[in-house]
């Protein structure tokens, strides 16, 4: 349907669309940089791009990235490893779900910034509380998502497997696991998003380096250009992570029916 | 009665099933008795809610009767078993498996050597006319093709009894007729005891040796009609005088039940 329509119109390549979108954003950015008030927050690219070098010269740039990535990867990794078994346990044993789920939903709605100080009281300042904070946030998002996914598996598939001679173990390994993969990927996507959005809160725990920490400190010294550069950097990292998940998704769930 | 000398394959003995609902209990099946002979083709018709699917699920071992029992070759069934294959209305194909991998599933569970399993699967895929689609995923197939895969999958596991729960209910009229013909051909080549549920009277008469008419609330067997039209049956059979007479008769009974349910 949509293909037929496209043929009649001028076909614009996706890459060209991306370019157009980029130009539009640059134009908007430029206009913002001209304004008296908005110009203070949005210096144009000619000031922002060189600030990468400024930050490298200050010896902060790479350390910030490394520190933040370590927090994200470690926190997300721990969240992933722990959410999988908990999600399966919740789906399998109702008491586990009845006891845990309300609390996950309760804590999930509290902004991480709110309880970050509690973690500092326990673990002191530095990377440790930051990683744990990201762990908690990604764990909650992912365990709920995976749990919902397992709950929504089509029971006829389990019945079909059973009448073909599958035992409980077969059903877990050959039906539940593959049927859960799409939900795990959704959970990874949401979890990575949660990890990045929690980064700022996480690095408010007295981190020495980090993108979130740097944005805060640059804001205190009114250095708009490097600050904006760091914000854009955060966005680019997010986009790259999404791309990686997309590739994994295409590899693992090509069999899935999709509404286009 | 057709083939009285044959062995009783499935014996449904005084099956009673009730569900505990929010508004008290509902009796789904009440005192269902039926002897199904080896290689017999049985069709069950009846209005929605007459418990025909419940009965099929009990025979499959997916549900337990509240009282009464089902015997296969004289042995009481407990739970599911590979000797009883099921074809579901919603196809129930494993979407992450290709056609051949779906058909091989039962053989995989039986730990059949891989190459042998492949050969068996290929044979049935060809039998249902899907040669060339072995490596397609279910999402790439039409409804009729999906149900063909499901039938091939059930056959490949080599059950003695095939339970079909309105398998063609979701298909368009032309595809349905085509699949009926194919199913009959397969059944004539490789006789299996078939227990086929449908709400389509034409379908029941064209396929079955005996049509079981069920009444609703509570579900019980109202009448058993012998279909004494010889095989092979084709679409022309539908204009046969005997066919039309049986159709009028069965349709009338089912419609009365339908009206009964509406009350």
Res B117 pLDDT > 90:
yes
Task: Give the pLDDT of residue B230.
Answer: 87
Tell me how far apart the alpha carbons of residues A70 and A75 are, in angstroms, rounded to a whole number. Answer: 8
HEC string of chain B?
Answer: CCCCCCCEEEEEEEEEEEEEECCEEEEEEEEEEEEEECCCEEEEECCCCCCHHHHHHHHHCCCCCCEEEEEECCEECCCCCCCEEEECCCCCCCCCCCHHHHHCHHHHHCCCCHHHHHHHHHHHHHHCCCCCCCCCCHHHCCHHHHHHHHHHHHHHCCCCEEEEECCCCCCCHHHHHHHHHHHHHHHHHCCCEEEEECCCHHHHHHHCCEEEEEECCCEEEEEEEECCCCCCCCHHHHHCHHHHHHHHHHHHHHHHHHHHHHC
- Among chain A residues, the shortest Cα distance to B93 is held by A157
Distance from CA of A3 to the nearest CA of B (A): 18
pLDDT at site A231: 92
Residues from chain B contacting residue A160 (CB–CB below 8 Å): 86, 88, 92-94
Nearest CA in chain B to A156: B92
Nearest CA to CA, how far is B80 from chain A (Å)?
Answer: 5
The answer to whether the beta carbons of residues B186 and B127 sit under 8 Å apart is yes
Shortest alpha-carbon distance between residue B97 and chain A (Å): 8
Interface A:B, Cβ pairs < 8 A: 63
What DSSP assignment string belongs to A58-107?
TT-HHHHHHHHHHHHHHHHHHHHHHHHHHHHHHHH-HHHHHHHHHHHHHH
Look up residue A35 and give its DSSP letter: S
Q: What mean pLDDT comes out for the span B35-61? A: 90
CB contact under 8 A, B139 and A257: yes
Predicted confidence at residue A259, as pLDDT, reads 60
Comparing alpha-carbon positions, the chain A residue that sits nearest to B155 is A164
pLDDT-derived band of residue B257, with 50, 70 and 90 as boundaries? confident
pLDDT digits (tens, 9 = 90+) for A214-257: 998 998 888 889 999 999 999 999 999 999 999 988 888 878 77
Residue A116: is it exposed, middle or buried by C-beta count within 10 angstroms (0-12/13-18/19+)? buried
What is the average pLDDT score of chain B?
89
Partners of residue B94 on adjacent β-strands: none
d(CA B47, CA B256): 9
Task: Compute CA distances B131 → B91, B113, B145, B183, B205, whole Å.
Answer: 19, 22, 11, 17, 30
Closest CA in chain B for residue A158: B92
| pTM for the structure as a whole | 0.79
- CB A256 to CB B95 under 8 A? yes
Alpha carbon A84 to its chain centroid, in Å, reads: 17
Q: What is the pLDDT of residues B191-240, one digit of tens each?
A: 889 999 998 899 999 999 999 999 877 888 989 999 888 888 888 888 88
| pLDDT < 50 stretches in chain A | 1
Task: Please enumerate residues of B whose Cβ is less than 8 A from a Cβ of A.
Answer: 60-62, 80-82, 84-86, 88, 90, 92-97, 105-106, 109-110, 137-139, 153, 157
Nearest CA in chain A to B161: A163
**Which residues have CB under 8 Å from B208's CB, separation 6+?**
B41, B42, B43, B196, B227
- What pLDDT is attached to residue B2? 45
Which tops the pLDDT comparison, B32 or B170?
A: B32
Shortest CA gap A127–chain B (Å): 41
- Chain B contact probe: residue of A158, A165, A183 with most B CBs at under 10 A: A165
CA distances to A75, A149, B3, B40, B232 from B188, in Å: 62, 43, 15, 11, 8
Residues in A closer than 8 angstroms to B85, CB to CB, are 163-164
Q: Which pLDDT score, from 0 to 100, does residue B1 have?
A: 43
From the list B84, B90, B94, the residue facing A163 with the nearest CB is B84
Predicted local confidence at residue A5, as pLDDT? 52
For the stretch B131-187, pLDDT in tens is 999 999 999 999 889 999 999 999 999 899 999 999 998 888 888 888 898 888 888
ipTM given for this complex: 0.86
Assign residue B197 a region: left if phi > 0, alpha if psi is -120 to 50, beta otherwise?
beta
């Amino acid at each position: 349907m949509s293909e037929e329509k496209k043929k009649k119109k001028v076909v614009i390549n996706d890459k060209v669309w991306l370019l157009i979108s980029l130009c539009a954003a640059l134009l908007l950015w430029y206009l913002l940089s001209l304004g008296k008030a908005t110009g203070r927050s949005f210096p144009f690219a000619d000031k922002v791009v060189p600030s990468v070098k400024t930050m490298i010269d200050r010896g902060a740039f790479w350390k910030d990235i490394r520190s933040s990535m370590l927090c994200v990867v470690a926190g997300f990794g721990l969240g992933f490893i722990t959410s999988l078994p908990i999600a399966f346990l919740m789906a399998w044993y109702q008491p586990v779900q009845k006891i845990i789920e309300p609390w996950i939903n309760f804590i999930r709605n509290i902004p991480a910034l709110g309880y970050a100080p509690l973690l500092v009281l326990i673990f002191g300042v530095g990377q440790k509380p930051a990683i744990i904070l990201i762990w908690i946030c990604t764990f909650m998002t992912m365990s709920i998502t995976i749990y919902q996914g397992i709950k929504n598996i089509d029971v006829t598939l389990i019945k079909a497997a059973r009448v073909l001679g599958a035992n409980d173990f077969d059903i877990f390994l050959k039906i539940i696991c593959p049927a859960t993969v799409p939900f795990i990927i959704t959970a990874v996507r949401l979890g990575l998003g949660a990890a990045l959005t929690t980064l700022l809160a996480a690095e408010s725990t007295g981190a020495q380096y980090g993108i979130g920490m740097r944005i805060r400190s640059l804001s205190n010294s009114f250095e708009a250009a490097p600050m904006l550069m760091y914000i854009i950097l955060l966005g680019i990292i997010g986009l790259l992570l999404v791309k990686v998940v997309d590739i994994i998704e295409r590899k693992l769930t090509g069999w899935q029916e999709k509404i286009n | 009665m057709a083939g009285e000398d044959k062995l009783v394959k499935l014996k449904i003995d005084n099956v009673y099933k009730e569900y505990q609902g929010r508004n008290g209990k509902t009796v789904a099946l009440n005192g269902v008795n039926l002897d199904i002979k080896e290689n017999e083709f049985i069709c069950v018709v009846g209005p929605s809610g007459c418990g025909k699917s419940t009965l099929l699920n009990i025979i499959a071992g997916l549900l337990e009767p509240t009282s009464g029992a089902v015997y296969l070759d004289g042995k009481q069934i407990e739970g599911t078993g590979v000797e009883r294959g099921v074809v579901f209305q919603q196809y129930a194909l494993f979407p992450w498996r290709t056609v051949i991998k779906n058909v091989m599933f039962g053989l995989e569970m039986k730990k059949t050597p891989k190459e042998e399993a492949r050969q068996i699967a290929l044979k049935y895929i060809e039998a249902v006319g899907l040669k060339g689609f072995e490596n397609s995923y279910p999402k790439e197939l039409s409804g009729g093709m999906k149900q063909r895969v499901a039938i091939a999958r059930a056959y490949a596991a080599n059950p003695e009894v095939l339970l079909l729960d309105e398998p063609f209910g979701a298909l368009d009229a032309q595809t349905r007729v085509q699949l009926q013909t194919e199913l009959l051909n397969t059944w004539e080549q490789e006789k299996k005891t078939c227990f086929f549920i449908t709400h389509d009277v034409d379908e029941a008469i064209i396929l079955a040796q005996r049509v079981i008419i069920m009444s609703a609330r509570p579900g019980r067997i109202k009448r058993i009609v012998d279909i004494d039209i010889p095989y092979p049956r084709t679409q022309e059979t539908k204009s046969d005088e005997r066919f039309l007479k049986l159709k009028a008769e069965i349709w009338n009974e089912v419609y009365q039940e339908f009206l009964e349910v509406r009350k």
